[in-house]
Structure 1
Amino acid sequence: MQEYDPLAPESFDTPHEVFADLRARCPVARSEAFGGFWIATRHADVKHILDHPEQFTTTVRNVVPGASATGRRPPLHLDPPEHTPYRRAIDRALGARRLAAIEARIETHVGSLLDAYIEAGGGDFVEGFGSPLPALIFADWFHLDDAQRDLLWRTAKAFVKAWEDFDVATVSKTSEVLYGLARDLIAARKADPLDPDIDPVSSLLAATDAAGQPLPEEMLVGCVRQILVVGLVAPPVFLGSVAVHLARHPELADELRRHPEQLESAVEEFLRLYTPYRGFARTSRVPTVMGGREIAVGEPIALAYASANRDEAVFEQPHQFRIDRANVREHLAFGRGPHRCAGMAMARTEFRIALRQLLERTRSIELDGEVRMSGMPEVGPVFVPLKVIAA
């Protein structure tokens, strides 16, 4: 049964048209792609799954397509309480003091990238801005040197592309490079620890399990490998979507230039409107009836965050950008529950600064060719050709 085809060609708007149709007539749909899975498209169903890890586990498959072939990578591959020491350590290294220091660096990175991009008159916004920005930010957070930063960016891009193409061989090859980087970082921090309140690897090394024991070495490697990549996947797709929207709606760009105090609200509405995920997944632990469908134990369910955040039952006129949307914070762009995105505060800061500087430094943003879309598990553009005019 093929009620949802994630391999169908897509334009910028068609994924949301498909999701709207599914929400109306088949809110929990079946796909035979990638070995078969269900996809939940309504806000209430996605929220229910995220709120009940005792019924829907992340330990079997945390994303569609694919499943881990290279070991467990906490915290995403573990449920509470096993995931909690890893998550607590990551949260520790994203406290207020660290975020304040990161914010200053984000300002610098955004300005430097936009200077080059605007001087060139534009080009692919994803390659020229959206992709390198999170790599630079994560390099700062992890205290990477220039060679490590470049290796991370190149390898993460190849990894994501291979994942979208369902190229298992290249996924495994690039994943091993990332594992090697994770092992090198752990060895370096063991030899020369940094402040656990500002360095995620040092924080993980200082963490203990419920029995007060250090976390297992290979699980630490998997955790570092996981967080090295996760923050580099969504921002390029999301920022590409924002750029397309601004190019299509120059009146909104002008309004935000005149009213920069609205930028924080704009970021939240953009997150709702262009959530870059449709493939985070859980596996049912118990027989489940959802959306009129019977889901057996052990079956994977993709969580279409991008669809849930345009659910007409929750958001009035969901396909419209509304700066004053009263319930915008009900969006699920960062997930929910024990696996809610640990880096959401850093991501919001990144997006707010990027949007402000892009608008400040330009007076015109136009599309200059056809947008190319990502494949599952993301949803959004991976190629956004723009023509920009400096302010």
Structure 2
Amino acid sequence: MTAQHPRFQVDLEADDARRAEHDFDPVRPDETFTSAHEEFAELRSRCPIARSQEYGGFWAALGYDEVLSVITDIEHFTTSKQNAIPKFAFTGVRPPLHLDPPDHMAYRRVINHFFTPPKMRAIEPKVRAASVELLDPLIDQQWVDVCKGYAQKFPAHVFAHFFNLSVETSEEIKQVSGTYVDAIQVLNHEVVIRLSRRLYEIAQSVIDERRANSYDPAEDLTAALLAAEYQGAPLPADMVLGCVRQLIVTGMVAPSVFIGNMFVHLSRDPELQDQLRNQPHLIPAAVEEFLRLYSPYRGMARTAREDVMLSGQLIRKDDPIALVYTSANRDERVFPNGEQFVLDRPNISQHISFGRGTHSCPGAPLARMMMTITLEEALARSSSFTMAGSPEMAIWAEWGTRSVPLDFVRA
């Protein structure tokens, strides 16, 4: 006799068989600029909830509705247990990502204050200056890797201004965090633990400097966390440390791979390149469509709090499920011609490249500024740029480029 789930109309033997299937390999050594999207499009058509046996086995939400359901259903899915695929050992809790409501708001409330329109307007000249400083010398080079020469350096310079750090400290964070992410994907626990420890040391040094030099909490995010209170008491020291550790790393990797994606697309579409060069007011709209089309996140995850049905698939208690934004943002059910670039797409505001709801990315305004300024300055300084070789791709959990060789022609 076939066993049935006590709450759902599910044949448990059939479900066990489904859990043993292997729909896709998250880490393909031969990934190209188009291969992952081709695979995700095929998978979405038959299983918007896919299954992989890698990393101990996990589900992957590939469809837009499925991803949106998971990230907005805080009753059935938690971020506090496993929030990334693969799962890896870390020391301590890193708010706000590792906390569920309402506790995460004690930290999120402080962070949000530093991404307001006035704060963004204040930092914009420094972001633009950093972009020009790094980008301008590249335009005159006959051959340049725009990832290694610009995209992998720009976030560190921006973060140095945003967090009131030295460029040297920010560059070390960028270098360590990049190697740390790579080690996670190949499950090199020794390197992960060693580099995680170094990132905590850097975070503690930032905190120590704030305590010693009385930084203004209105102007410095770390100082604001040290001054904040929750339920009538200061935020716990270990939680502030975890939060600073999270903040100095988050956003370092994704912009690096995403910037290269924009350059690959534009190098292959000279008409769009010229249109944006001649009509720079269209660049913010183009950035939004690039965010949808080339979303870099595919390994962020949630964990089921209890057995739950998602688009007809039983997700069992404690099952991890990856949120494949890279796939969801091309779902034809929501974005017609989802594999194509459409400037001024009518429903572009529906893309979920920065998540949605409780744990949506607070740094989205700064990320948008970085991408817009990058295109503005690159297009203004060049009359054209073309591919000078094949792009090299990042590995799971990000999707995007690590190397993009270009030939620039200065305007």
TM class by smaller structure: over 0.9
In the alignment, residue 192 of structure 1 is paired with which amino acid? N
User: How does 1:289-308 map onto structure 2 within 5 Å?
Assistant: 289-308=309-328
Shift of 1:101: 2.1
Q: Which residue of 2 aligns with 1:379?
A: 399
Shift of 1:225: 0.7
Contact 1:93–1:196 (CA under 8 A) maintained in structure 2? no
Contact 1:110–1:353 (CA under 8 A) maintained in structure 2? yes
Q: Which residue of 1 aligns with 2:257?
A: 237
Q: Which residue of 1 aligns with 2:128?
A: 107
Q: Does 1:327 align with 2:347?
A: yes
d(CA) in 1 for partners of 2:188 and 2:224?
Answer: 34
In the alignment, residue 169 of structure 2 is paired with which amino acid? Q
Structure 2 portions without partners, runs of 5+: 1-20
d(CA) in 1 for partners of 2:276 and 2:203?
Answer: 40
Among 350, 359, 367, the alignment partner of 1:339 is: 359
Q: Does 1:254 align with 2:290?
A: no
Indicate the SS of the match to 1:20.
helix
In the alignment, residue 110 of structure 1 is paired with which amino acid? S
Indicate the SS of the match to 1:321.
coil
Among 337, 341, 354, the alignment partner of 1:317 is: 337
Among 265, 275, 284, the alignment partner of 1:264 is: 284
Shift of 1:294: 1.2
Among 105, 121, 141, the alignment partner of 1:84 is: 105
Shift of 1:276: 0.3
Q: State the number of aligned residues.
A: 390
Shift of 1:198: 2.4
Q: Does 1:71 align with 2:88?
A: no
User: How does 1:9-88 map onto structure 2 within 5 Å?
Assistant: 9-88=30-109
Q: Which residue of 2 aligns with 1:117?
A: 138
Shift of 1:163: 2.7
Which has the higher Rg, Structure 1 or Structure 2?
Answer: 2
Further displaced range: 121-130 or 349-358: 121-130
Once superposed, what is the RMSD of the aligned Cα atoms?
1.3
Structure 1 portions without partners, runs of 5+: none
Identity of aligned residues (%): 42
Alignment deviations for residues 350-391 of structure 1 (CA, whole Å, 9 cap, x no partner): 111111111111112111112111111111111111111111
d(CA) in 1 for partners of 2:168 and 2:372?
Answer: 28
d(CA) in 2 for partners of 1:295 and 1:189?
Answer: 45
Contact 2:156–2:167 (CA under 8 A) maintained in structure 1? no
d(CA) in 2 for partners of 1:197 and 1:277?
Answer: 31
In the alignment, residue 286 of structure 1 is paired with which amino acid? E
Shift of 1:68: 4.2
4+ residue runs over 6 A deviation: none
Shift of 1:280: 0.8
Q: Which residue of 2 aligns with 1:190?
A: 211
Alignment deviations for residues 20-69 of structure 1 (CA, whole Å, 9 cap, x no partner): 11110011011011111000011111111111112100001111112342
Shift of 1:132: 0.7
Contact 1:266–1:323 (CA under 8 A) maintained in structure 2? yes
In the alignment, residue 50 of structure 2 is paired with which amino acid? A
Among 155, 159, 183, the alignment partner of 1:162 is: 183
d(CA) in 2 for partners of 1:385 and 1:304?
Answer: 27
| Shift in alpha-carbon separation, 1:88–1:22, aligned structure 2, 3 A | same
Further displaced range: 2-11 or 105-114: 2-11
Alignment deviations for residues 114-170 of structure 1 (CA, whole Å, 9 cap, x no partner): 112223234221111111111111111111124312322221222233233332222
d(CA) in 1 for partners of 2:168 and 2:324?
Answer: 36
TM-score (norm 2): 0.92
Q: Does 1:358 align with 2:345?
A: no
